[in-house]
Amino acid sequence: MDRLDAMRLFVRVVERGSFSSVAREAGVGQSAVSKQIAALEAHLGAQLLRRTSRSMTLTDAGQVFYESALRVVDEFDAAESLVGHGQSAPSGLVRVTVAPVFGRLYIVPRLPEFFARYPDISIELTGSGRNINLIEEGVDLAIRNGELTDSSMIGRRIATAPFATVATPAYLAVHGVPLTPSDLDVHACLIFAPLHEPLPWEFRDGARTLLHHPRANFRTADAEQIRAAVLAGLGLAHSPAWAFAPEIASGAVRVVLADYAPGPLAISAVHPAGRRLPTKVQVFIDFLAEILAGDAGLTGHAG
């Protein structure tokens, strides 16, 4: 039994809370994971995990060993990244969760450039607008919009995006151009409603914040459908400008109420706190900060 590999496996089991999910992640059978943990417990002469059909918890000895194993694994990875192959050519799989529209518009088209620089790194993108538990889901990195509130996560701001209220010229030609947020009461507002909860539209009037609660006959939790609805001429949307950057540039949609636009939205690369950031993840974050600095609809934060 390779003790370091066994320690890595034990740490992942504790973090994921599941033998089966770690087995899928490692590409082995669940029985292989169970045997490794059992062999580790036999070697240590102590039970590390209490397992039932419905739950898994750490014993007191398991908690002590987990904290020590976590330090050992992190220190080994840090040492490995400083010398030899780990420094000159980072490798491995980086699992990333990102809002689907943002991934399609800003990340996927630039991946050929990333792979040319780092051919030994693989990227797995999961399109999700919700804030998942990165450790439980086995995700290395999340690209998130807005201010971060979870103290268990570390975020690096890699860009900011202005907000924009947009509609097609055809829609505005028929229904008129709103000149103030109150004019929206007579317009079709396309509602983004994550978790079935409509979000108010925020505007600024000098130092004042104005909230408009839109009413419409179309709502969705899918930002791609908001894009499609705007382009179909169904009404106005209020969203980060990056979602419509190509159409704004081409004139396919127009920005209205620009004088009332709220402050810019932060875009951050987020990863769990308390763990050393692997080189493969660090170089991907650096790459994102670099490419976003020059993209339409965004203001870069490459530092």
Quick check: 209 and 203 in contact, CB under 8 A? yes
Quick check: 192 and 166 in contact, CB under 8 A? no
On the question of pLDDT at 85 being above 50, the answer is no
For 73, phi then psi, to 5°, come to -65, -45
Quick check: 125 and 142 in contact, CB under 8 A? no
Tens-place pLDDT, residues 149-194: 666 678 889 988 888 999 999 999 999 999 999 999 999 999 988 7
Tens-place pLDDT, residues 12-57: 888 777 888 788 877 788 888 888 888 888 888 999 898 877 778 8
**Average pLDDT, whole number, for the chain?**
85
DSSP letters for the chain: --HHHHHHHHHHHHHHT-HHHHHHHHTS-HHHHHHHHHHHHHHHTS--EEE-SS-EEE-HHHHHHHHHHHHHHHHHHHHHHHSHHHHHS--EEEEEEE-HHHIIIIIGGGHHHHHHH-TTEEEEEEE-SS---HHHHT-SEEEEES----TTEEEEEEEEE-EEEEE-HHHHHHH----SGGGGGGS-BPEE-GGG-PPPEEEEETTEEEEE----S-EES-HHHHHHHHHTT--BEEEEGGGGHHHHHHTSSEEE-GGG--PPEEEEEEEETTSPPPHHHHHHHHHHHHHHTTSTT-EE---
Question: Which of 52-66, 144-158, 208-222, 244-258 is modeled with the greatest confidence?
Answer: 244-258
Which domains can be identified in the chain, with CATH numbers?
3-82 (1.10.10.10), 85-153+269-300 (3.40.190.10), 163-260 (3.40.190.10)
> Tokens representing 39?
């062999």
Angle at 66 between CA 63 and CA 69, to 5 degrees: 150
Strand partners, 255: 166
Task: For residues 79-93, give the mean pLDDT.
Answer: 65
Confidence of residue 233 (pLDDT cuts 50, 70, 90): very high
Confidence of residue 227 (pLDDT cuts 50, 70, 90): very high
> Tokens representing 132?
């998942």
CB atoms within 10 A of CB 67: 10
Quick check: 190 and 224 in contact, CB under 8 A? no
Strand partners, 208: 205
Task: Return the percentage of the chain with pLDDT > 90, whole number.
Answer: 37
Check residue 202 and give its pLDDT.
94
Confidence of residue 98 (pLDDT cuts 50, 70, 90): very high
Check residue 112 and give its pLDDT.
96
- Among positive and negative, which fits the CA dihedral 245, 251, 254, 258? positive
Rounded Cα distance, 277 and 272, in Å: 9
